[in-house]
Structure 1
Amino acid sequence: MILPTLRQLQFLVALGETGSFSRAAEACHVTQPTLSAGIKELEDLLGIKLAEREARGARLTHAGELAMQRASALLNDAHALVQTVQSAGALLTGPFHLGAIPTIAPFVLPQTVRALHATYPELKLYLHEDRTGRLIDQLRSRTLDAALIALPWDAPGIETLALYDDEFLFAAPPAHPLAKKNGLAPEDLKDEDLLLLEDGHCLRDHALSICRMRTGDGKDQVAATSLGTLVNMVAGGLGVSLLPKLAVDHGLFVGSDVAVREFVRPVIGRQIGMAWRAGSPREADARKIAEVVKAQLATAPH
């Protein structure tokens, strides 16, 4: 089967858009006889009349209109193919799908997006917020190109790059005895009602690890769906909690009746890192975005 050439399709689209052989030839930067010959070759190939000359120009037949619609779509795809291939060797161009967990996204992504937009205007960044397990699944299925998650997180087939050590801070109602204790240590929380995020949030697991608690200890029967809800629960006197310093530095508890204290020895609760699928063709892009994220974290409010 002999297929039409892109040039022939371009001639047909131009003729349909201009309604004139002469204007179509001008738009395609060819002579009118060349364009007329191209249309005739296309008609012979398809075995049907596509255009009719009129006193004041030309018009497409019904078959010509249908052919023009499909030709326009094919030409658009051809242009997209060229742009995709030409940009393949350039960092941070075209679409990039970046995921982030809810306890990181609000405190990292806004300034990161601004910095990337300013430096890489050809980058089309699509953001996805979800829990770690689902983000990892999306990396494996190639739905995401990279994701900001909390480390450590062991996931076969996924590579990670640590970017930032995030401390845990103690949060309690202002009148709570531990809110005024000197030399506060994680061991002081062993007999407290520790409020945590609900199951599925990696921050919960990290907090339990710091306090050497098990989920079956009965100290975390009430769970929050978000950090904001967790702060409100602490303010309501339901218990104490651990909050990531990154979130606190970005004003998480401002306006809430909550006392936040550092431990006498800094407690690194988690590392913020970038993850991507091993062998991904977007690894270089993921690492470059990770550099931007790291720079933004270094200038975060303290």
Structure 2
Amino acid sequence: MNLRDLHYLVALAEHRHFGRAAEASFVSQPTLSTQIKKLEDELGVPLVERTPRKVLLTETGREIARRARGVLAEIDEIKAIAQRTRDPESGTLRLGIFPTLGPYLLPHLVPLVRTHFPRLELLLVEEKTEHVVKMLREGALDVGVLALPLHEDSLHAEFLFEEPFVLAVPASHPLAHKQSLLKLADLEDESLLLLEDGHCMRDQALEVCALAGAGERSGFRATSLETLRQMVAANVGITLLPTLAIKPPVSRTDNVHLLEFGGRAPSRRIALVWRKSSSLGTFLKRFAEVIRSMPAELLQPDLGGARARPAAKRGR
């Protein structure tokens, strides 16, 4: 038994006609018919019912054809893995990213990847950090974009960039009228709106709160940065936002004032992460360089005179 014969059997199961199956397999009809007969002789069971008008597979033939499809799919995957190792730029890269970064980084990253690696197929998975790490560990992902620190000995982390946080407050908040750059001390005794458990940015925001003497707004935990942004706009409270989340193509939100920190601003450190045993390591270092080539201004709040947009006036 060989893979070629399994291909012929699957083609026959799909087309139910020796001529069309042969054409789809790029062989002559006598060749395909002979190979199917040889496969039947080898297995010792009939696989095909030959009738004047059409071809029907026996019950055994249908079951073997079904399993043959799975075998051939696995063979294709093995070839794809080998091809990806020989020429990573022409393969598929399975990339995981966490939800408070993905929607804001990917619009800038994907065009860069297409420019530098036009033959690369990028498959994106957006999950919380814990799940991305698990998928990396199990081989379900090739690489992840995650926040540091990571405590996983099996993974290599390649630092990419540091992303500052800004403070988002509603127009009615006293800090909305602050003219100078923000200090951590300005957050003392404030209560911040934070994300629910499982988001790495929740942990990062709690660290900022601890440094500033601030706390968490009780009775509320958001599932996304967009929820936090809209809660600020609705005068529910204040929150921290990462810089990429305030950059185009993200639209400005009415009644949300953004304040930049002076000095050593609170931030998160982002890295490209992959298994230390991965054969893609050399390519992934080049992939990291592409991410680092993003324009520097994307990671600078640079709020200037357009830090905030006042609430929309009605009746005009």
TM-score > 0.5 by shorter chain: yes
Match of 1:147 in 2: 144
Residues of 1 paired with 2:23 and 2:232: CA distance? 73
Distance 1:94 1:257, change over 3 A: same
Larger Rg: 1
Secondary structure at 2:88 match in 1: coil
Shift of 1:106: 0.6
- Of the candidates 173, 195, 203, which is equivalent to residue 201 of structure 2? 203
Distance 1:147 1:30, change over 3 A: same
1:97 aligns with 2:97: no
Residues of 2 paired with 1:58 and 1:176: CA distance? 78
* Runs of at least 5 residues in structure 2 that lack an aligned partner in the other structure: 303-316
- Of the candidates 242, 245, 267, which is equivalent to residue 244 of structure 1? 242
Whether the 8 Å CA contact 2:129–2:199 is kept in 1: the answer is: yes
Match of 1:62 in 2: 58
Match of 1:192 in 2: 190
Whether the 8 Å CA contact 2:146–2:272 is kept in 1: the answer is: yes
Shift of 1:119: 4.6
Distance 1:86 1:140, change over 3 A: closer
Secondary structure at 2:293 match in 1: helix
Shift of 1:102: 1.5
Residues of 2 paired with 1:253 and 1:27: CA distance? 53
Deviations 1:201-221, CA, capped at 9 Å, x for gaps: 222332333343499x75432
Aligned sequence identity (%):
35
Distance 1:174 1:121, change over 3 A: same
- Of the candidates 252, 255, 277, which is equivalent to residue 253 of structure 2? 255
* Runs of at least 5 residues in structure 1 that lack an aligned partner in the other structure: none
Match of 2:288 in 1: 290
Match of 1:163 in 2: 160
Residues of 2 paired with 1:145 and 1:59: CA distance? 44
Distance 1:285 1:41, change over 3 A: same
Q: Please give the root-mean-square deviation of Cα atoms over the aligned residues, in Å.
A: 3.8
The 5-angstrom pairing of residues 100-111 of structure 1 reads 100-111=97-108
Secondary structure at 2:217 match in 1: coil
Amino acid at match of 1:201: H
TM-score scaled to structure 2, two decimals?
0.74
Whether the 8 Å CA contact 1:18–1:24 is kept in 2: the answer is: no
Whether the 8 Å CA contact 1:13–1:68 is kept in 2: the answer is: yes
Shift of 1:49: 4.8
TM-score scaled to structure 1, two decimals?
0.77
Whether the 8 Å CA contact 2:8–2:21 is kept in 1: the answer is: no
Deviations 1:126-166, CA, capped at 9 Å, x for gaps: 32222222322222222322221222333333221221121
Match of 1:232 in 2: 230
